[in-house]
Amino acid sequence: MIPVKPKETIAGFDAFLAERGLSFEAVVIGGTALGLLGVVSRQTRDCDILHPKLPKVIQDAAKKFAEIRNREGDLLASDWLNNGPSSLADVLPTGWMDRLQAEAQSWLINE
């Protein structure tokens, strides 16, 4: 397992995307979500995106970001950002997206 440091990784990836004129908003769950919210301070295996499906341009950017981080000695798996748990959205109650509340945004992490 190559661990992900949630706050540092997401903040770095947000800056990486911004430098390329890209942005991405998503519903993050699992260990990364708990880390972003400050519920836990541990590292996690990856960043699980529940919704939306990762666009190819974001998938490619995440892989490039990992390559750069790896060259700099800060190891990050090539699939660190993924839609692994996306099937969970199929079993959530109807209208679940309408009840989402923004709890963490990358620009808040950079403060």
Query: Is residue 102's pLDDT more than 80?
Result: no
| pLDDT for the residue 105 | 60
Are the C-beta atoms of residues 53 and 45 closer than 8 Å to each other? Answer: no
DSSP state of 89: G
3-class secondary-structure state, position 83: coil
- pLDDT, average across residues 92-110: 70
Percent of the chain residues past pLDDT 70, beyond the cut: 91
* Tens of pLDDT, residues 42-90: 888 899 999 999 999 999 999 999 999 999 998 999 999 999 988 998 8
| Domain boundaries of the chain, sorted by first residue | 6-109
Helices assigned H by DSSP within the chain = 6-19, 30-36, 56-71, 106-109
Quote the pTM value.
0.84
